[in-house]
Amino acid sequence: MSDQAIIKTGGKQYRVAVGDKLRIEKLSAEVGGSVEFGEVLLVGSGDDAQIGTPLVAGAKVSGLVKSHGRGKKLIVYKFRRRKNYRRKNGHRQSYTEVEITGISA
């Protein structure tokens, strides 16, 4: 078992450790179900870190799906001065909250 890892999911990279709760891009997994992240870029810390080229072979990070939800509303406002052009739009990003349960290399 390693203590830290860097995973890639939803086009973003996250540094995770066992017990961490993080919000990632929405996954199609049931609440209470388990998920595995195969795209592991780094495992371990300090001198014993395994760095992938680009991925660490055989490394997996497992997690438990806690909930699904939608983030705070963000206002997207486009404006061109002197052209009478204004566009206002709202956006709420969907997310999945995951608790990391294990890191194996």
DSSP codes, 28-63: S--TT-EEEE--EEEES-GGGPEEPSSS-TT-EEEE
The average pLDDT across 32-53 equals: 92
27 phi-psi bin (left φ>0, alpha ψ -120 to 50, beta other):
beta
pLDDT digits (tens, 9 = 90+) for 59-99: 999 999 999 999 999 999 999 999 999 999 999 999 999 99
Task: Report yes or no: 3 and 44 within 8 Å, Cβ to Cβ.
Answer: yes
pTM of the model: 0.84
